[in-house]
Amino acid sequence: MTETAKANNLNPFRYLNHVLTVLKDHQDDRNYSFIEKLLPWSDQLLEI
């Protein structure tokens, strides 16, 4: 994950921190469509 974050010009620590925070917020969800927004190449990913 860190290498993919680097390859997409993201800070690996900040990216992993963001992913884990979002996953924690969605731990009870049954709809996993939000995961696509977390992919390091997603246009919907916030600037990290």
Domain that holds residue 21: 2-38
Structural domain total, the chain: 1
In a domain, 45, yes or no: no
pLDDT at 46: 74
In a domain, 6, yes or no: yes
pTM of the model: 0.83
pLDDT at 30: 92
Instruction: Yes or no: say if 11 and 48 are a contact pair by the CB < 8 Å rule.
Output: yes
In a domain, 30, yes or no: yes
pLDDT at 5: 95
Cα–Cα distance between 11 and 5 in angstroms, integer? 7
In a domain, 33, yes or no: yes
pLDDT tens digits for range 1-48: 999 999 999 999 999 999 999 999 999 989 999 999 999 999 888 777
Distance of CA 10 to the CA centre of its chain: 10
Distances (CA, A) of 30 to 5, 12, 14, 21: 26, 27, 26, 17
pLDDT at 7: 97
